[in-house]
Amino acid sequence: MRLFALVVVLAPTSVLAQPPPPRAPTGCTTVSDTETECHAPAHPEAGPVQVALGSDFGCGLAANGTVRCWGRSDDGQCGVVAGSVPTPSEVAGLDHVAAIGVGYGHACALREGGEVWCWGDGGHGQLGVEVESRATPAKVEGLTDVRQIAVGGFHNCALRGDGAVLCWGSNDAGNLGDGREREHRATPMPVRGVRATEIWSGQSFTCARERRGVKCWGLSEHGQAGTRRRVRAARPTRLAGVGPRDAVVLAES
């Protein structure tokens, strides 16, 4: 059985998840054997501008540039090492955040100065250092002038202002686009042959929009990286039939 979470942002001043009705308690209540209802307290002064969901946890970027996370946090993905965080709690040490992304058990934040900070599970190098996990966000070295981040299940990519795409983390399916299939790499490195204007990541693959179309790399057992066979596309492959102006949305795998 797979577990799913639903987050509803009802209005710009509601917060990260549906606010409770009058007199309703915050936290989670078991409704049935298969359903749990959770209410998050409202913070009208810092309403959400982005919500991102991982595996059993979620994070929200508030209008004041702070980040709040909730849910499973055994690897520190909510900013603290705890079994669970039932209500959105601010991640310490983060401000001036412009965008967020979450993976299976880690999260990353793009700060306004073009830096990338990550925390949570780090067993695949996805935090930018060789560490099993880390609850405190820390800067990923080697990244400057980042305009967009794309966070996969166990890997990340960053789009720089000059169009370069740098990836790091798990590489067992060619996720990093460097032509290799090795366990992981903690250091962000450029993907050769890609000059992008926009990037997206699924669970184990990434796509980049260029002037002439879209290129993808990584796991492609269902053709999601643009190949027609059950292969891993370790190098960027142009996606047939998709133009530079077509809308692209990536799902888990």
Residues in the chain, how many?
253
Check: CB of residue 107 under 8 Å from CB of residue 93.
Answer: no
Tokens of 77: 């993905």
Check: CB of residue 65 under 8 Å from CB of residue 19.
Answer: no
Check: CB of residue 51 under 8 Å from CB of residue 58.
Answer: yes
Ordered domains of the chain (ranges, CATH): 1-141 (2.130.10.30), 170-253 (no CATH)
pLDDT at 38: 56
Task: Profile the chain (253 residues) by mean pLDDT over runs of 10 residues.
Answer: 45 44 49 56 64 96 97 97 94 97 98 98 98 98 98 98 98 92 92 96 93 88 60 82 61 51
Which residue has 């595996």 as its token pair? 55
pLDDT at 225: 55
> With a threshold of 0.85, does the pTM exceed it?
no
pLDDT at 8: 47
SS3 123: coil
Check: CB of residue 65 under 8 Å from CB of residue 112.
Answer: yes
SS3 210: strand
Count CB neighbours of 244 within 10 A.
12
In the chain, the amino acid numbered 84 is S
pLDDT at 33: 57
pLDDT at 66: 97
